[in-house]
Amino acid sequence: MNGNNHQAYVFHYTTASTALDFILPYRTLRLSSLLGVNDPKEELRRNFTFYARHPASVLNFSSDSFNEISKDVAAHSYVLCSSINQVGYEPLHGQSGMSGALKPRMWAHYGGNHGGICLVLNKELLHARIIECAGDDNFYYGDVAYFGPGELPPSIAAAAHVYLDDWKSDPHAYVDWHIENFNRGLFFSKSKDWCQESEYRWIIRSRKRGPFYVDISDCIVTIVLGSRVTPETTAATRSICEMHKIPLDFVNWLPDHGTLVADSKDPSQFNLDGISFSTNVPCLAVIARGAGGVNGPLVVCIDAKGGGRICPDGAQEDVDSRKNRLSWVTEVFGEVDEEVAPTKCAKFSAARLSQQIPFKITMVDGHPKFRDDEEMPLHGRPEIKVD
Residue 290 lies in a domain: yes
Q: Are residues 288 and 145 in the same domain?
A: no
- pLDDT value of residue 220: 97
Residue 309 lies in a domain: yes
Average pLDDT, the chain: 78
Burial of 243 (0-12, 13-18, 19+ CB in 10 A): exposed
The CA distance from 142 to 130, in Å, is: 13
Q: Are residues 180 and 273 in the same domain?
A: no
The model's pLDDT over 66-96, given as tens digits with 9 standing for 90+, comes to: 999 999 999 999 999 999 987 666 655 445 6
| Domain boundary pick from 190, 222, 254 | 222
Residue 257 lies in a domain: no
Residue 72 lies in a domain: yes
Q: Are residues 289 and 373 in the same domain?
A: yes
Q: Are residues 283 and 205 in the same domain?
A: no
The model's pLDDT over 93-137, given as tens digits with 9 standing for 90+, comes to: 445 678 899 999 999 999 999 999 999 999 999 999 999 999 999
Peptide bond into 211 cis (omega under 30): yes
**Structural domain range at position 316:** 264-387
State the pTM of this model.
0.75
Residue 228 lies in a domain: no
- pLDDT value of residue 47: 85
Q: Are residues 304 and 216 in the same domain?
A: no
Structure confidence at residue 9 as a pLDDT band (50, 70, 90): very high
Q: Are residues 274 and 331 in the same domain?
A: yes
- Range of weakest confidence among 58-67, 121-130, 359-368, 372-381: 372-381
For residues 196-208, give the mean pLDDT.
95
Structure confidence at residue 34 as a pLDDT band (50, 70, 90): very high
Distances 273 to 116, 255, 301, 387 between C-alpha atoms, Å: 22, 14, 14, 33
Structure confidence at residue 44 as a pLDDT band (50, 70, 90): low
Overall number of domains in the chain: 2
- pLDDT value of residue 43: 66
For residues 233-252, give the mean pLDDT.
93
Residue 314 lies in a domain: yes
Check pLDDT > 80 for residue 332: no
Residue 253 lies in a domain: no
Structure confidence at residue 209 as a pLDDT band (50, 70, 90): very high
Q: Are residues 283 and 206 in the same domain?
A: no
Q: Are residues 118 and 39 in the same domain?
A: yes
- pLDDT value of residue 379: 46
Q: Are residues 204 and 287 in the same domain?
A: no
Q: Are residues 195 and 295 in the same domain?
A: no
For residues 266-281, give the mean pLDDT.
52
Q: Are residues 204 and 289 in the same domain?
A: no
Q: Are residues 209 and 329 in the same domain?
A: no
Residue 147 lies in a domain: yes
